[in-house]
Structure 1
Amino acid sequence: MAKQLTSEALPVDLPGVKRTRKKTKDTDNLTGYLFILPFLVGFIALTVFPVAMSLYLSFTDYDMLGQANWIGLENYQRMLTDDNKFLQSVKVTFFYVLTAVPFRLIFALAVALLLAKVMVMKGLYRTLLYLPSVIGGSVAISVMWRQLFGNEGALNSILAQLGIPTVSWLGDPAYAIWTLILLYGWQFGSSMLIFLAGLKNIPNSYYEAAQVDGANAWHRFIKITIPLLTPIILFNVIMQLIQGFMAFTPSYIIFGDGRPLNSTLLYVLYMFQRAFTFFDMGYASAMAWMLLLVIGIFTALIFKSSSYWVHYESEGDK
């Protein structure tokens, strides 16, 4: 029987073959677009449009009830020159981020180093230590934290039993922000797991060779662990920095409006107040874009500095 020619066996320059392949390619493209259509619709409707709208509103005076009136850069000018509460929120947020982020990362690294040496029931310990990251940002945990540090809370009860003077943790401006920092540090699980994964990737032969040369535990940590862990540190620093700048729920649930004396008035909490308490959506949108700019600058600076302190095993990775 004569061998039948298939379309693949025909010369590629035949008009019929070209039309068939073009039709097949168009059909494949249409099928692909249909599959990603739900994502595209959601991305445009829930991300692109709100972002573009917030950028427009940042140049307007808009109270969510009437028309948005174009005022140009007045929101940004008022923010930087005439709003003392804005400057206070910036001060509080920078102190919070520059204190809470190192505290969480150092604690997470310390726990990861201890967990890396555990040989029995490692999965259970990892799960238990990760739980605070899962539930720590919830409203329930914030309420529990408020009760724990209240005047009649468990912490003051323990201090009273030990004969130590109690402290107004939530009412004293000197201590209030530290309750939020402690809560942020308590949610160390995700950073810990990332550090633990990085520690597992460091070959034991490096430590054995250093030990043979007489290096003690501290020298092995400084000369081997930290340099080989710097890519993980870079990732964790950037992620936790962004999360720190965007902190909102604990401050809102525990202190409400930034009390006492605006000592816990985080940036996003004040932005929320401007938008949904004072209905100043144009000003709140300008604050949102200012926050995006600050986070972008910090992220760029960290990436720029990474060439001086981040170590990669292969020079080709840099």
Structure 2
Amino acid sequence: MNAETEKLALPVGTTLDRFIKKKQDDFPFASGELSQLLRDIALAGKIINREINRSGLLGIEGAFGAQNVQGEEQQKLDVIADIRFMRALRNGGEVCAVVSEEQNEIIDLDNPNGRYIIAMDPLDGSSNIDVNVSIGTIFSIYRRLSPVGGPVQMEDVLQPGVAQVAAGYLLYGSSTMLVYTTGRGVNGFTYEAGLGEFFLSHQNIQTPLDGKIFSINEGAYNVFEPAVKKYIEDCKEQRFSGRYIGSLVADFHRNLFKGGIYIYPRTDTAPEGKLRLLYEANALAYIVEQAGGKASNGKTRILEIEPKELHQRTPLFIGSKKMVEKAEGCF
């Protein structure tokens, strides 16, 4: 076999399933349940990826005609993604309950023997689907605190971010990626549609300690706190690049690899911030810390905030450690 032929036959790499099996020994307490749960999420991600790619042909883009609990207009794909993930998690049998951005209350999956709770945003940034901008799914995984076999309790769901056993996101963009952590580093997998598999493409992801990208919606500048305005002006004085897609997963993903800070601060109209603690901020905070970065609400570490309600909001400063620390110093 000559060199050119060998190049054509190069292995595509380690599949997600094989990688999970290799890492299963890291979680002897889980007896394979967490591994199966990650597979269930990956399966749902493949289905959502398919729906997104053909949404324009099937007429499932655009508004659904209802609002979610946040008062935001639901998109058709929001509803579809929520249904797909619920089915995958229910059929997988490892999850007893789900908290979703698209649902008012805790969703009991009628699986009292399930040991895990999922908090998720099934399709973040879905309003961008009509203009073919990258969107994503965000998820957090917690072990339930109440006895297995009994009903799910609110205490099972309202756990601080430090209690997460895994978290991740799916990015549906020029390529589809699954990035997740189980508290032992961050790994990324790229979807190969022809084979129907996620393959390990980014091992042990480390975010730069510092960066030159700031991501914030400057259209709301006039209603930002003075500390946020001060930090933005400092970024501009240093000629940093302003990069803002408007899809949380996409903005976070870029900064994770290139170095930068994503900011969604409190404003006059959103005094508690806009992003949700349980199924957006906590997951990304867990990932960024595992990658060497930092996440804060401007004053407090995101993972240490005690949640009081399902859809609690929080300001978010997340990304390269030095950039977040400098932003905190403005308060």
TM range (shorter): under 0.3
Q: Report the structure, 1 or 2, having the larger helix content.
A: 1
Structure 2 length normalisation: TM-score? 0.26
Higher relative contact order (CA 8 A, sep 6+): 1
Structure 1 length normalisation: TM-score? 0.27
Q: Report the structure, 1 or 2, having the larger strand content.
A: 2
Larger radius of gyration: 1
